[in-house]
Amino acid sequence: MSSPLLALFGRSLREDTRLKMTYFARVGLVFVILLFLASTSSAFGWGNAPGLRFFGTVVFINFSFILLAGFSHFASAITEEKEEMTLGLLRMTNLNALSILLGKSTSRVVNALLLLAAQFPFTLLAISLGGVATRQVLAAYCTLGAFIIFVANLALLGSVVCRRSTGAAVFTGVTLFAFFAGVPFIRWVAMLPTYFGIVKTPGEWVVALNLCADAVGVASPINRLSQILSTGFAEGPLGAQVWSNLALGTACFLFAWALFEIFCSEQQEASQPRSLLVRRTSRLRAFGAGRAWPAALAWKDFHFLTGGKVWLVIKLSAYALPTALFYAAQMRWNPRPRWNELGYFTLSIAGMILAIELAFIAASVLRHERRWKTLSSLAMLPMSMRRIAYQKILGCLPSLVPAATYIVVGLIVVSDEFPRMPPPRWEPGAVIALAYAFTQGVLFLHVTATFSLYLRRGGLPAAIAAHFVGNMLVGIVMAAAREESVLVVMTVLCIVLTGVLHVHIGRRLETLAEEE
């Protein structure tokens, strides 16, 4: 009889071994690597250290995929059981907290490490191409392997603590950001008085903060990978980053184990959150949902998916924060604020937020109905499925108003520069490039919406990955052809693909409503 401790772990590994998808994923990854090889060759030829360029791209892609997996695949290890309400059933068996954690998460880590191992022989091609040594390849893979273990266990901790996969993904993202960017930023802010001579010697807490930031710098895979990919790298494959990431991963795992009983002991029904919406019986009912609009689905999604008026106010305030900080920093160094810089900053931040919000809306607007099995009720309404989907999208648009407002504000602030700017030259190349970029954005939203109707979770990261690989292919074609006409063809292709997906989403919704 096998040990109950490893029962779930062993079963997960056996299942993964039997799944065709496991092998498709490995072959797919190798295919992507070969794609990079072709891409590097077409973009830079075989001169000027092509091996290093090729390997650098592979490492960068691996790093991005690990982050995406952290937000989706790893972060749902325990929350998927909570959402399906099957964690209680697992706990009724002989499996204890440790065996569940090993079975649900460690098996995923092993698979991710195997994916890295599968591509390793192919990346050795980089050595023969020149510009990179075996030591660098080994060190990079050790760095990525250790980072996988850290991210997976951090996501596992989030998965134990949070009730839903989205929460676990946000926990993982915010922690990683706070760890790798927050600490150095705080150190930078704390050192400002010393830089400007306000304080002659930094205080003890600043020194401690410095030490912390140095330690974070050592643990950062980005720093380590930049060292590895620089010429003259002569260290061993197992640097301080590897050990620190392994230690952090282990600590996260132990922490998740310790907290498992606290956060996973009671089976709670997965419920749709009402967010901050007040009821009509409340004194603050002006911020509530009120009566349904004639476009009822738009009303529903505005209030119950995007948070309604309360979230509009919150976002309007929160999105002003980066601009306010930028303005305060400007005022500290220069009493005469440079409004144009402020305008461009606001414009870029608001544009970025708008893009992120659009991606999240595309990922959730239809998935929400699928998840709560409400599509059959909607399909019974006397309107077509396409109209239902359009009304839902319409309901999500007001949530973009805060970001759009700051874009307009930014434009107004920088508008006094417009007369001084040279008149835009609408050359065909520039117009086509703009059209291509726009169609790319629209296509990405369609890919995300489509994926959200097929995958139970992780539709957005999968769409990012798919779009990325697709663009790599396009990059190869573009680099090979180097002609404007290719861009036109690609733009048309984007429009056709978007149209196909647009129609397909409607059909898929009807099928899902039938299947409910």
Partner 1 sequence: MSEPIIDIRNLSHRYKSHQALGGVSFTVGRQSIHGFVGPNGAGKTTTLKVLATLLRPQTGGSVSVFGRDIVRERQEVRRKIGFMPDHFSMYRQMTVFEYLDFFGAAYGLGQAERERIIKDVLALTDMAGRKDDLINGLSRGMQQRVSLARVLVHDPDLLLLDEPASGLDPRARIELMEILEELRRLGKTIFISSHILSELATLCDHVTILDRGVVKYTGTMRGLMTGGEGTLSSYHLTLAAEHPATADALAKLPGVQRILPPLPNDPKYAITFDRAQVSLNTILQTALAAGAQIVSCAEDVKQLNQAFMDLTEPGVRS
Where do contacts with partner 1 occur on this chain (CB under 8 A)? 271-275, 277, 279-281, 289, 291-294, 296-297, 299-300, 304, 372-383, 513-514, 516
Assign 3-class secondary structure to 421-465.
CCCCCCCHHHHHHHHHHHHHHHHHHHHHHHHHCCCCCCHHHHHHH
The DSSP letter of residue 234 is: -
| Closer of 37 and 379 to partner 1 (Cβ) | 379
| Closer of 282 and 340 to partner 1 (Cβ) | 282
| Closer of 297 and 363 to partner 1 (Cβ) | 297
| Closer of 270 and 479 to partner 1 (Cβ) | 270
Please state the closest distance from residue 384 (CB atom) to partner 1, in A: 8
**Integer Cα distance of 77 and 69 in angstroms:** 11
| Closer of 317 and 377 to partner 1 (Cβ) | 377
**Integer Cα distance of 2 and 14 in angstroms:** 14
Exposed, middle or buried, 350 (CB in 10 Å: 0-12/13-18/19+)?
buried
Contact 453, 508 (CB under 8 A): yes
**Integer Cα distance of 441 and 15 in angstroms:** 37
Reduced to 3 states, what is the DSSP secondary structure of residue 259?
A: helix
List the structure tokens of 101: 């954690």
Please state the closest distance from residue 272 (CB atom) to partner 1, in A: 4
Give me the long-range contacts of 487-491 (CB less than 8 A, separation at least 24): 487/429, 487/432, 487/433, 487/436, 488/432, 490/436, 491/432, 491/435, 491/436, 491/439
Please state the closest distance from residue 503 (CB atom) to partner 1, in A: 17
Please state the closest distance from residue 381 (CB atom) to partner 1, in A: 5
Please state the closest distance from residue 367 (CB atom) to partner 1, in A: 15
Please state the closest distance from residue 373 (CB atom) to partner 1, in A: 4
Please state the closest distance from residue 29 (CB atom) to partner 1, in A: 32
Please state the closest distance from residue 270 (CB atom) to partner 1, in A: 10
Please state the closest distance from residue 375 (CB atom) to partner 1, in A: 8
The runs of H, that is alpha helices, within 75-182 are 79-83, 87-91, 97-101, 107-123, 125-129, 134-161, 165-177
* Number of alpha carbons in the 13 Å side-chain half-sphere of residue 70: 27
| Closer of 131 and 308 to partner 1 (Cβ) | 308
List the structure tokens of 115: 């994916």
| Closer of 84 and 516 to partner 1 (Cβ) | 516
Please state the closest distance from residue 454 (CB atom) to partner 1, in A: 18
Contact 413, 386 (CB under 8 A): no
| Closer of 137 and 378 to partner 1 (Cβ) | 378
CA 184 to chain centre: 22
Exposed, middle or buried, 344 (CB in 10 Å: 0-12/13-18/19+)?
middle
**Integer Cα distance of 81 and 163 in angstroms:** 10
| Closer of 229 and 512 to partner 1 (Cβ) | 512
| Closer of 224 and 300 to partner 1 (Cβ) | 300
Which H or E element spans position 321? helix 320-333
| Closer of 285 and 332 to partner 1 (Cβ) | 285
**Integer Cα distance of 267 and 239 in angstroms:** 42
* Number of alpha carbons in the 13 Å side-chain half-sphere of residue 138: 10
| Closer of 115 and 509 to partner 1 (Cβ) | 509
Contact 171, 77 (CB under 8 A): no
Could you give the C-alpha distances from 316 to 114, 193, 197, 311, in angstroms and in order? 45, 31, 36, 8
Please state the closest distance from residue 300 (CB atom) to partner 1, in A: 6
Please state the closest distance from residue 277 (CB atom) to partner 1, in A: 8
